[in-house]
Amino acid sequence: MSRVPGDRREDLYIVLIVGAVALVVVLLVIGFVVHGNHACVSALQDFDARVGSLDPAAYNLPSVPDEENAAHWFLEAARVLSLDQEDRARLEDLILAGGERSSKRHSAAPVAVFEKNSTAIRLAEKGGQRNRSTYGVDYAPGMSANLPNPGDQSKLQRLLLARGVSALERGDRSTVLSSVQAIGSLANAHEAELSFIFLLLGVSDERAQLSLVRSLLAPPDLDASTCRTLSGYLVSQDTGKVFVRALGFEGASYSELYRSLFSRKPETFVIVPWFFRHYTLSGVLRTLIITADAFRKPYPEMLAYLNDNSRQLPFVQYRLGAEFLIDYHEIAGRVKRVMAERRLAGFALAIREQALAGRPYSSNLSDIPGADDPNPYSGTPLAANVRADGSLDLSFHMGEGAWKRACPGCDPEPAELEIVLPPTRRALTEPDERRVRHGLERPRPE
């Protein structure tokens, strides 16, 4: 049966329609690929310029001989820890009791726990005396076999903190200083690494160290030499820079992961991972750029910035990054708060040392370096108030209504950061050494 010319024309139309549809599909795929690749390359370049290098090799820490490596000694200390559940509960009870002097509490101090862990404490003190550190972690994507157990490192910190608190109760200042030094070195070691878990361990370590420093600042008999020693023991890492750098490392990990997907041989390549790589990577990096920019702002402004920018993300990026942006502020807030607490402690030590040298407390802090700079948490400078009893109240606060103006949706307003320095009797009874040296004042008899 022969085909009529009309049937042939219909077949031709079908072929043309199918060909046109196929061409449109091919063009759409090419358009998606080109657009996705451009978005990905642009995100990679922006991230590298605004956050940090995307090359994991840029974050490799130099190797350190074991003898000089603080992290090595902390790992060794953690390996010989002997803390059962009851021991850990006794340590936490002691920590929660603070530095309050009480014969009952003193008698209940877990001396046996410290004796049982004397080797761990001695090894941790060796780590505290080292200035360089690396855990030797392989940062290649997916390679985390060398990560030390965070739980063991946390237990070590609690042991050192409890030891410092116990020494405070006994009035054993040298042991307290040793604990402050070891915890500070442990925090520096953790914050030198690039994993978020290390950073958060470091933040916890800093807070433990600062709690001991604040306890030492409270008594009126602190001397200037101890103030200088404590200043040197404060954590030296720039925690803000470490936090943004940790984001950079995550970006490097994502970059390497998706580059490996993208570089498959054509015969084994699947189009879905191609699209997934382009849009997922660009979305992740754009989100991390926003969080890095946000972190440079005071906390309430940071929250408002994250809220505004999460709504402006394109749909795909919003779906990928919105939940991260929502959760991010909690971690960032912890980091920024401990940065402000460290700065406040540094100011308190400097002012206390000056007072012990004969300079009276004053509400005017214009000659204290950095006192006029906004702190990373609330964005306000250091405030000082001399109380009627001669003590000095140092604080970072938002000021009335400032928190709500900066971030109307933020609630509640965070607690004010404050340290109260007691009156310095020595400053009132002993001569200023500089005035004695220049003959303006006579030394007083012993």
Q: Is a pLDDT exceeding 70 seen at residue 323?
A: no
Q: How far apart are CA 425 and CA 390, in angstroms?
A: 10
Amino acid at 405: R
> Measured between alpha carbons, how far is 166 from 163 in angstroms, rounded to an integer?
5
Can you give the three-state secondary structure of the chain, one letter per residue?
CCCCHHHHHHHHHHHHHHHHHHHHHHHHHHHHHHHHHHHHHHHHHHHHHHCCCCCHHHHCCCCCCHHHEHHHHHHHHHHCCCCCHHHHHHHHHHHHHCCCCCHHHHHHCCHHHHHHCHHHHHHHHHHHCCCECCCCCCCCCCCCCCCCCHHHHHHHHHHHHHHHHHHHHHCCHHHHHHHHHHHHHHHHHHHHCCCHHHHHHHHHHHHHHHHHHHHHHCCCCCCHHHHHHHHHHCCCCCHHHHHHHHHHHHHHHHHHHHHHHHCCCHHHCCHHHHHHHHHHHHHHHHHHHHHHHHHCCCHHHHHHHHHHHHHHCCHHHHHHHHHHHHHHHHHHHHHHHHHHHHHHHHHHHHHHHHHHCCCCCCCCCCCCCCCCCCCCCCCCCCEEEECCCCCEEEEECCCCCHHHHHCCCCCCCCCCEEEEECCCHHHHHCCCHHHHHCCCCCCCCC
Which pLDDT belongs to residue 430?
41
More confidently predicted of 418 and 30: 418
Q: How many domains does the chain have?
A: 1
Q: Is residue 342 part of a domain?
A: no
Whether 380 is covered by a domain: the verdict is no
Angle at CA 300, nearest 5°, toward 294 and 301? 45
Provide the pLDDT confidence category of residue 105 given band limits of 50, 70 and 90: very low
CA torsion through residues 330, 335, 338, 339, sign: negative
Looking up tokens 């000095």, which residue turns up? Answer: 392
pLDDT bracket for residue 164 (50, 70, 90): very high
Q: Is 96 exposed, middle or buried (0-12, 13-18, 19+ CB in 10 A)?
A: exposed
- pLDDT tens by residue, 273-291: 566 667 777 777 887 888 8
d(CA 199, CA 207): 13
C-alpha angle with apex 102: 390 to 160, nearest 5 degrees? 90
pLDDT recorded at residue 366: 82
Look at residue 300 and tell me whether its pLDDT is greater than 50.
yes
Find all residues with CB under 8 Å of 94, minimum gap 6, and list them: 105, 108, 109, 110, 162, 165, 166
Show the domain range for 207.
62-133+148-218
Higher-confidence position of 244 and 280:
244
Q: Is residue 267 part of a domain?
A: no
Distances in Å between the Cα of 209 and the Cα atoms of 23, 216, 222 are: 66, 11, 17
Please check whether residue 211 lies inside any domain of the structure.
Answer: yes
Q: Is the pLDDT of residue 116 over 60?
A: yes
Alpha-carbon distances of 220 from 89, 346, 370, rounded to whole Å: 32, 18, 25
Neighbours of 17 (CB within 10 A): 10
Structure tokens at 122: 């001695």
What percentage of the chain has pLDDT greater than the value 90? Answer: 33
Residue 420 pLDDT more than 80? Answer: yes
In the predicted model, is pLDDT for residue 63 greater than 60? yes
Q: How far apart are CA 376 and CA 364, in angstroms?
A: 21
298: in domain: no
169 band by pLDDT with thresholds 50, 70 and 90? confident
Kindly report, residue by residue over 223-240, the tens digit of the pLDDT.
999 999 999 999 998 998
Q: What is the pLDDT of residue 143?
A: 43
Could you tell me which residues are beta bridge partners of residue 69? 132
What pLDDT score does 276 carry?
65
Asked, for residue 110, whether it belongs to a domain, the answer is yes
Report yes or no on 329 lying in a domain: no
Nearest Cα residue to 129 out of 188, 170, 217:
188
Domain annotation covers residue 79: yes
Instruction: Please report the pLDDT score of residue 17 as a whole number.
Output: 84
Would you say residue 159 has pLDDT above 90?
Answer: yes
Q: What is the pLDDT of residues 392-410, one digit of tens each?
A: 999 988 665 666 666 666 6
| pLDDT band at residue 16 using 50, 70 and 90 as cut-offs | confident
pTM of the complete model:
0.80
Distance CA(382)–CA(366), nearest Å, equals 10
Which tokens hold the place of 114? 């410290």
